[in-house]
């Protein structure tokens, strides 16, 4: 991050409020999720123009499997359809796509769609959009420990820098500088527990489908006023 510009390199967004927005507008929950995808597309483009290099978004948590079978099925299908709809456009805009999360329980067609998107955009040099899908911060750490032990590494010599390479996405994912959460809630919900250790947090009352480019600008302006000390 350029210190003079005060623009966070990595912004994480907890996209909360799709279902509440739908209910408030007399719609089904699935319509709120569909609207949320449209907003994400807009915010991704705007974040890139604002100088953000890495945008990670909390899309589907490991706890979201507890929702109804109908809603989970819709979300899985929406993810695949959204990739197909926006992939070429995002590629043309030089966006690199990543998925962070556990692959356990995900359908073959979803994984194939994501692998296609990641492969197509892997050499793009613009903003990286990392979708946290089937993601849990505690599960990420557990999976990292399993991988580390499985490779027979000497844990007595383990450092934070070494362990970070075993998190989802490895060294390709930088530490989170700024976490934005919509809907007025003020909790992390397990989002980026390791990488957001020194992140600044910002909560906005608007539900995710209402979140606009202007709201993102306000959030960035607030970040510019923060004095980050990293424990010092």
Contact between 14 and 180 under an 8 Å Cβ cutoff? The reply is: yes
In a domain, 45, yes or no: yes
124: annotated active-site residue: no
Q: What pTM was estimated for this model as a whole?
A: 0.94
Please pick, among 4, 16, 108, 143, the residue that the annotation labels catalytic: 16
Query: For the segment 27-85, what is each residue's pLDDT rounded down to a tens digit?
Result: 999 999 999 999 999 999 999 999 999 999 999 999 999 999 999 999 999 999 999 99
Rounded CA-CA distance 152/145 in Å is 11
CATH code, domain with 107: 3.40.1180.10
Task: Determine, yes or no, domain membership for 146.
Answer: no
Is 13 exposed, middle or buried, given 0-12, 13-18 or 19+ CB atoms closer than 10 A? buried
**Active-site residue flag, 16:** yes
221 in a structural domain: yes
Is residue 150, in this structure, part of any structural domain at all? no
Structural domains counted in the chain: 1
Q: Which residues contact 90 (CB under 8 A, 6 or more apart)?
A: 44, 97, 121, 129
Cβ atoms of residues 200 and 178 within 8 Å = yes
pLDDT at 5: 57
Decide if 155 is inside a domain: no
**Is 141 part of a structural domain of the chain?**
no
SS3 percent helix, strand, coil of the chain, rounded to 5, is 50, 15, 35
From the list 18, 64, 108, 154, the catalytic residue is: 64
Q: Residue 122 falls within a domain, yes or no?
A: yes
Q: Which domain holds residue 130?
A: 10-136+175-225
Q: What is the pLDDT of residue 189?
A: 95
The residue ranges of the chain whose pLDDT is under 50 are 1-4
Tokens 């027979």 — which residue?
A: 152
Structure confidence at residue 147 (pLDDT): 95
């Amino acid at each position: 991050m350029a210190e003079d510009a005060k623009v966070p390199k990595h912004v994480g967004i907890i996209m909360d409020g799709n279902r509440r927005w739908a209910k408030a507008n007399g719609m089904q929950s699935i319509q709120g999720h569909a609207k949320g995808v449209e907003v994400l597309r807009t915010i991704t483009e705007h974040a890139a123009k604002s100088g953000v290099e890495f945008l990670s978004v909390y899309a589907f948590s490991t706890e979201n499997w507890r929702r109804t079978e109908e809603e989970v099925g819709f979300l899985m299908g929406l993810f695949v359809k959204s990739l197909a709809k926006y992939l070429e456009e995002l590629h043309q805009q030089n966006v690199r796509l990543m998925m962070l999360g556990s692959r356990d329980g995900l359908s073959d067609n979803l994984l194939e769609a994501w692998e296609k998107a990641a492969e197509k955009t892997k050499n793009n040099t613009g903003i990286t959009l990392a979708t946290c899908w089937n993601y849990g911060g505690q599960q990420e750490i557990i999976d990292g420990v399993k991988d580390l032990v499985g490779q027979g590494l000497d844990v007595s010599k383990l450092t934070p820098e070494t362990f970070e390479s075993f998190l989802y996405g490895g060294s390709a994912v930088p530490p989170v500088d700024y976490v934005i959460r919509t809907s007025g809630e003020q909790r992390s919900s397990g989002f980026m527990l390791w990488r957001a250790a020194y992140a600044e947090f910002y909560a906005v009352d608007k539900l995710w489908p209402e979140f606009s480019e202007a709201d993102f600008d306000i959030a960035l302006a607030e970040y510019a006023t923060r004095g980050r000390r990293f424990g010092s």
